Amino acid sequence: MSDLRTIKITVLRYRPEEEDAPTEQTYDVEFRDDWVVLDALNHIKDHIDGTLSFRWSCRMGVCGSCGMMVNGEPKLTCAAMLRDYYPNEVRVEPLVNFPIVRDLVIDMTDFMDKLKAVKPWIIREEEKPVSEGEYLQTPDQLKDYKQFSQCINCMLCYAACPVYGLEHDFVGPAAIALGHRYNLDSRDEGNQQRQHVIASKEGIWECTYVGECSVVCPKHVDPAEAIQQTKVATTTNRFKSLVMPWGNKK
C-alpha cells in the first residue's frame, strides 16, 4: 500500500552533555496505516536523526521496554497506532515519575530495587531435592494468581500513579502485584518474608486508590486490585492473630 500520510511527531529530547533541561524537537514523519508510534521513532532514528535515543526490543507487547508518554498517557509505543492520533500531532515523552537519562530513556533503578525487595520468586522453607520431582499445582491453584503473573515490568503503572510521583518511597503497583502473585502461589512459602515490604506504610497503605495503574496496564494485571486484596487480607490476618494468637498457621 502506498497510502502515505504525514504526521508531526514532537519528541522530548535531553542530551545531558549538552543541556541542563529537556527541550523539544518536532519531526515530520510519513507513515503507513499500520505503523505504531515506535515505528515512527525507528523511522526517525534510521532516516532523519540518528541521535534520538529510546528503548525497545520485541515490538509486540511482551518485553515491556518501549513504555513512553504518548500525548500525556503512559503507553507501550509498539501498541499505539499512529492512525488513532492522525491528523493531530503526537507528543512523545519519557515515562513520567522517573528521572530521564537521555531523550526517551528513563532511569529504572528505583523500580528494579523495589521489584527485588518483594522477592518475586518462589520461596520454600526447605527446598526438596530435584530427585523428588516438581512442585505440583492444580489448574484451580494456577487460576488464583495467573492474572497477576502477566506483568511485563513496563512501568506504565508507575507513570500513571500520582502517589508514586509525589512519594517515591511507595513500593508501587507492579511490585506489590508481583509480590501478591507469589503470595497467592500454592507452591510458595515466602509470605512472611514479603510482608514487611508489602504490608508496610510504604507498601499497600501508601495507596489511596486512584486506580489509574489498572487503567493503563497493557496486560490487565489490575495492580489496584492486588493492592486492595492485600489490604483486606492483611487486616483480616492481623485481626485473626489478635483474636486467636494460637491459630496463626501461615
- List of residues contacting ligand FES (CB under 6 A): 56-59, 61-66, 76, 78
Assigned C-alpha cell, 103: 531523550
**CA-closest candidate to residue 155, choices 219, 238, 202:** 219
Quick one: CA dihedral 144, 147, 152, 155, positive or negative? Answer: negative
Assigned C-alpha cell, 86: 492522525
Q: Which of ligand FES, other proteins, ligand SF4, none sits in contact with 61, Cβ below 5 to 8 A by type?
A: ligand FES
Burial 17-46 (b: 16+ CB within 10 A, else e): eeeeebeeeebebebeeebbbbbbbbbbee
If one asks whether residue 69 binds ligand SF4 (CB under 6 A), the answer comes out as: no
**Interface stretch with ligand SF4, choices 102-110, 184-192, 201-209, 218-226 (CB under 6 A):** 218-226
What is the contact surface with other proteins in residues (CB under 8 A)? 14, 16, 20-22, 69, 71-73, 93, 96, 99-101, 105, 107-109, 112, 140, 143-148, 162, 165-166, 180, 184, 208-212, 215, 222, 224-226, 228-229, 232-233, 236
Q: Which is nearer to ligand SF4, 12 or 79 (CB)?
A: 79
Percentages of the chain per state (helix, strand, coil), in multiples of 5: 40, 15, 45
- The binding track of 128-157 with respect to ligand SF4, each residue x by CB under 6 A or -, is -----------------------xxxxxxx
Assigned C-alpha cell, 19: 543541556
If one asks whether residue 176 binds ligand SF4 (CB under 6 A), the answer comes out as: no
Assigned C-alpha cell, 148: 497477576
Residues binding ligand SF4 (CB under 6 A): 151-157, 173-174, 177, 216-219, 221, 223
